[in-house]
Amino acid sequence: MAKDTEKRAELIEHLAELRTRIIRSLIYVAVGMVVAYFFSDWFIGVLTRQLKQVLHASHGRMIFTSITEAFTLKLQVAFVGGLILASPLVMMEVWRFVAPGLTASEKRPFRWIAPLSVFLFIGGAAVCYSILSMAFKWFASFTPPDVDIYQSLPAGIRFVLLMLVAFGCGFELPVVLMLLAQIGIVNSRMLKRNWRYSVVAISIIAAAATPSNDILSMMTMTVPLVVLYLLSIWLVKFVERKPSRE
């Protein structure tokens, strides 16, 4: 009976701590949204820079289709910006909640996996941003000579954000494989032996993940992912050797 009471008390304590950290995270996001709202015009300008250039060259323009879209768009952009600004603090709250239940050996990989995942996501988003102009030009090339393009601004921003997220998540492949190796699901020999099947799988995933579905974007995602997969074989081997040295 005493053990059940003690376990129930521990559970209530953990739930109370979880509630506190969720509330803190929501406050961080709300504050981030307020800050991002004042920079929403700049954020919109960055996201639509390549699209505006292509539309200008094609005698097109960006439009709103309703009177409420401008205000709604600023709120949506502020929300996304707030999430980005608050993400370090939110991750800190998640880590402080999870860390006490982990052993020292379980905590050690997160010291380098967390920074690596952030670096890879930013790298993937940067690669995507660098090829957006070429992708938009490719789409615009199919426009008949006597037709003008009127692009919805919210739809254009959603497309760009989806592309950035798709590339950022795709570049997390080494982190995912290393985590799978940590728990014993994959190993370097398996990855090396099945690299041909993995290249085919990466090509299919890249085709499905890129919202544009154009050849340029698919190849721009596929080639770096194949390189990252080959690099992951070495990284997974490094993770496998680590327990033996200890």
The candidate with the shortest Cα–Cα distance to 216, out of 140, 144, 149, 155, is 140
Instruction: For helices 110-140 and 215-245, give the axis angle rounded to 10 degrees.
Output: 170
Report the distance separating Cα 180 and Cα 187, nearest Å. 8
- 40-43, long-range: CB < 8 A, 24+ apart: 40/74, 40/77, 40/78, 40/81, 41/74, 43/77, 43/80, 43/81
Is residue 55 within 8 Å of 3, Cβ to Cβ? Answer: no
Contact indicator for 178, 113 with CB cutoff of 8 Å? yes
Residue 154 CA to residue 164 CA, distance in Å, equals 15
Taking every pair of Cα atoms in the chain, the longest distance, rounded to a whole number of angstroms, is 82
> 158, 64 in Cβ contact below 8 A?
no
Rounded Cα distance between 9 and 6, Å, is 5
The two structure tokens encoding residue 130: 């660098």
Q: Per-residue pLDDT tens, the chain, 246 aa: give them.
A: 556 666 676 777 878 888 898 999 999 999 999 999 999 999 999 999 999 988 888 888 899 988 999 999 999 999 989 988 898 888 888 888 887 777 777 677 677 777 888 888 889 899 889 888 888 888 888 888 888 889 999 999 998 998 888 888 888 888 888 878 877 788 888 888 888 888 888 888 887 777 666 677 778 888 888 888 888 888 887 766 544 444
Q: Which of 36, 186, 21 is nearest to 97 (CA)?
A: 21
Using alpha carbons, list the distances in angstroms from residue 157 to 45, 50, 153, 160, 168.
10, 11, 6, 5, 16
CA atoms within 13 A on the CB side of 112: 9
Name beta bridge partners: 63. Answer: 152
Q: Which structure tokens are listed for 148?
A: 């003008």
Q: Which residue carries 């304590």 as its tokens?
A: 13
